[in-house]
């Protein structure tokens, strides 16, 4: 009897997260943001950036929508996306005006390469914009 329970628990560990209400709204915004990379649509990517966006992860943080747009243009230059991402965590303040998303980042070969962390602000009704973004590389512990 323990085996079926263990199998169910193991299967549940890999199931897609379930978000509801405003969490689902923010998860869908993050998915749409990620879709701009898959679609190779830099202009759409830029439309998700807050004027005050700060992206970290390089030697210096990128500050402001234009700086982020200019630096990230290189990721849209080639026909194939250099990476893709998907949220698996979404947290929203009780006020419903600020949210954090996080999830895996995969390379073009499907290998997990990092985790992203983003902060979204509701700047107008149904208009979420990313204000902070960064990530951490994952350990390739099998080497």
What are the chain's domains?
20-135 (3.10.450.50)
Parallel, antiparallel, or unpaired for β 89-92 and 127-137? unpaired
CA 65-36-20 angle, to 5 degrees, is 95
The pTM of this model reads 0.85
Q: What does the pLDDT read at residue 140?
A: 67
- Give strand pairing partners of 118: 101, 133
Please give the average per-residue pLDDT across 61-83, as a whole number: 97
Q: What does the pLDDT read at residue 9?
A: 41
Q: What does the pLDDT read at residue 15?
A: 67
Instruction: State phi, psi for 100 to the nearest 5 degrees.
Output: -120, 135
Q: What does the pLDDT read at residue 20?
A: 83
Parallel, antiparallel, or unpaired for β 49-55 and 127-137? parallel
DSSP-derived 3-state class of residue 69: helix
For residue 65, which of 41, 47, 77, 38 has the smallest C-alpha distance? 47
What is the chain's mean pLDDT, rounded? 89
Q: What does the pLDDT read at residue 143?
A: 56
Q: What is the C-alpha to C-alpha distance for residues 115 and 10, in angstroms, rounded to an integer?
A: 22
Q: What is the C-alpha to C-alpha distance for residues 134 and 131, in angstroms, rounded to an integer?
A: 10
Q: pLDDT (tens digit, 9 = 90+) per residue, 82-135?
A: 999 999 999 999 999 999 999 999 999 999 999 999 999 999 999 999 999 999
């Amino acid at each position: 009897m323990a085996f079926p329970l263990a199998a169910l628990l193991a299967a549940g560990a890999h199931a897609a997260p379930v978000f509801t209400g405003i969490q689902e709204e923010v998860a869908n915004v993050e998915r749409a943001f990620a879709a701009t990379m898959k679609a190779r649509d830099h202009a759409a990517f830029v439309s998700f950036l807050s004027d005050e966006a700060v992206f970290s992860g390089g030697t210096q943080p990128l500050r402001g929508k234009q700086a982020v747009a200019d630096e990230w243009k290189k990721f849209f230059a080639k026909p194939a996306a250099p990476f893709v991402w998907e949220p698996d965590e979404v947290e929203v303040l009780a006020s419903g005006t600020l949210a954090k998303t996080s999830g895996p980042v995969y390379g073009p070969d499907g290998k997990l390469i990092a985790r992203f962390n983003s902060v979204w602000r509701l700047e107008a009704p149904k208009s979420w914009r990313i204000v902070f973004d960064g990530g951490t590389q994952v350990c390739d512990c099998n080497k």
